[in-house]
Structure formats: structure tokens, C-alpha cells
Copies of this chain bind each other. A is one copy, B any other.
């Protein structure tokens, strides 16, 4: 039998699955668990992990495995949007210091937003998105704006394609309502996320454009819903505008 999918190498798929599996766990993971999680034969998992360890992608801690420091290096070198992150960072930190809540930088990738960077406040209860993690467009403030700018047709397309899965009881799951809501957000130049992705979490988002008017990124504030304040909208918009200037 030939390759099931040309453009796919078994070992690389398996390696990725293993890395993912390790990443899902907080503490070092045993071979057995990893083999079970990925459905690989322990012996196979072992050999792949050993090779990955050789290459620093994985490290051993006692008898278990954790992600290797080389991934830190590679992660920090992901050049994609590097300029963007660099330009945004000080603005994000300033905004975070001003309001005392988490500030996120996101970009669109397919039907999701990806968290590129964030600035975390120094307080016990805060909202924290992991860098590199994803969320569907229709349950995030920035994502809804992106849907809005893409136009009604594209938004409806998205709705049908994804089926608008609900995450909380506040998520939009109806195409008509979403389209309606999204165009409203677009007009006001910002969007709220009212516990649509996770109960108790509220966001405010704005878009960042380049000179040509294309969407470059989204900037958002995430906070426990009861701490969120109206006034932040203007500050967030200012930060967005400032970022556009710095990129232009």
C-alpha cells in the first residue's frame, strides 16, 4: 500500500502527536501514557521520543518526558508576525498597566484566531490565554470583527461551514443573529465578547489594519466579566490606532 496521503510522513505525524500529547500534560509524562494517548505502540513511541530527545525537542525528567528547550528557541524564532509582536508589545504592556487586565494580540488563521502574544497583569484572578492557542472566530471579540469585515456572505459561509458550535449559553449559535450582531460590532469599531467563549470571561476587541486597509491583527482586553469597564473601549481603540501608526 502506498502513502495514504502523499505530503505526509508517518514519523512526523507521530512526532507531532507526541509533542502535542506532552504539551497537554503539565508534569512530565510517562511513556505509557504517551503511547496510550497517541495510540502508538510503546516501543514505537519510545524510539521516536528517544530521537526527539537527541534533537532537543523533548527532554527527560526522571523517567518521564517533557518538551525540550529547543522548542523554546524555535518558538521564539517563529518569524511570522514578528514585527507585529515587536511593535505591539510595549503598547500592550502600557495598556495592561493602565487597566490592570490581560491584553491579547491575535491574528486570524482560517476559521480561528490565534493568540500571538499577551501582557498579563499582576493579580491573582486574571484571564490567561496561552500563546499559540486558538479560538473560533464567532466566540471572540476580535473574531467577530474579522467576520464582520469579511462581509455578510463570508460570515454566512463561516456559519454554515462550522455550524457555529456553542461554548457557553451566551455563544451565538444562530446564523441570523450572528450576522446581525457582527455588523453592529463592525459599525461601532469594536466588539464585546460577553461570556461567549467561557463563562465569566468578558472581552473587548478592536482590529488593527495596515495602510492598505487589510486586517493585520486584533487587539483585545480580557477580564472577569464583572470587572470589565466601558471606559476601556477608547483606550483600546487608541492603542489600536497607535499600533497602526507604528506599523505604517
CB of A57 within 8 A of chain B? Answer: yes
A50 B7 Cβ-Cβ under 8 A: yes
CB of A26 within 8 A of chain B? Answer: yes
CB of A73 within 8 A of chain B? Answer: yes
Q: For A109, what are the chain B residues with a Cβ–Cβ distance below 8 Å?
A: 69
How many of chain A's residues have a CB under 8 angstroms from any CB in B?
A: 52
A78 B74 Cβ-Cβ under 8 A: no
CB distance from A221 to the nearest CB of B (A): 19
CB distance from A209 to the nearest CB of B (A): 20
Q: For A9, what are the chain B residues with a Cβ–Cβ distance below 8 Å?
A: 11, 47-48, 51
Contact flags A1-35 to B (C-beta < 8 A → 1, else 0)? 00001011101110110010001001110000000
Docked pose: A19 CA to B55 CA in angstroms: 11
Residues of A within 8 A of B (CB): 5, 7-9, 11-13, 15-16, 19, 23, 26-28, 47-48, 50-52, 54-57, 59, 61, 66-80, 89-90, 93, 109, 114, 116, 120, 122, 130-133
The residue of chain B having its C-beta at the shortest distance from the C-beta of A50 within the complex is B7
- A19-B74, A23-B77, A79-B27 known; A69+B13 contact, CB < 8 A: no
How many protomers of this protein does the assembly include? 2
Docked pose: A7 CA to B74 CA in angstroms: 22
- A9-B11, A73-B130 known; A67+B51 contact, CB < 8 A: no
B8 A74 Cβ-Cβ under 8 A: no
Q: For A23, what are the chain B residues with a Cβ–Cβ distance below 8 Å?
A: 73-74, 77
CB distance from A231 to the nearest CB of B (A): 24
Docked pose: A124 CA to B130 CA in angstroms: 29
A71 B74 Cβ-Cβ under 8 A: yes
CB distance from A77 to the nearest CB of B (A): 4
CB distance from A124 to the nearest CB of B (A): 13
- A51-B7, A51-B8 known; A68+B78 contact, CB < 8 A: yes
A55 B16 Cβ-Cβ under 8 A: yes
B75 A76 Cβ-Cβ under 8 A: yes
Query: Interface centre among A54, A70, A76, by most B CB within 10 Å?
Result: A76
A69 B19 Cβ-Cβ under 8 A: no
The residue of chain B having its C-beta at the shortest distance from the C-beta of A109 within the complex is B69
From B47, B50, B51, B75, A75 is in contact (CB under 8 Å) with B75
B122 A69 Cβ-Cβ under 8 A: no
- A11-B12, A57-B16, A73-B131 known; A66+B51 contact, CB < 8 A: no
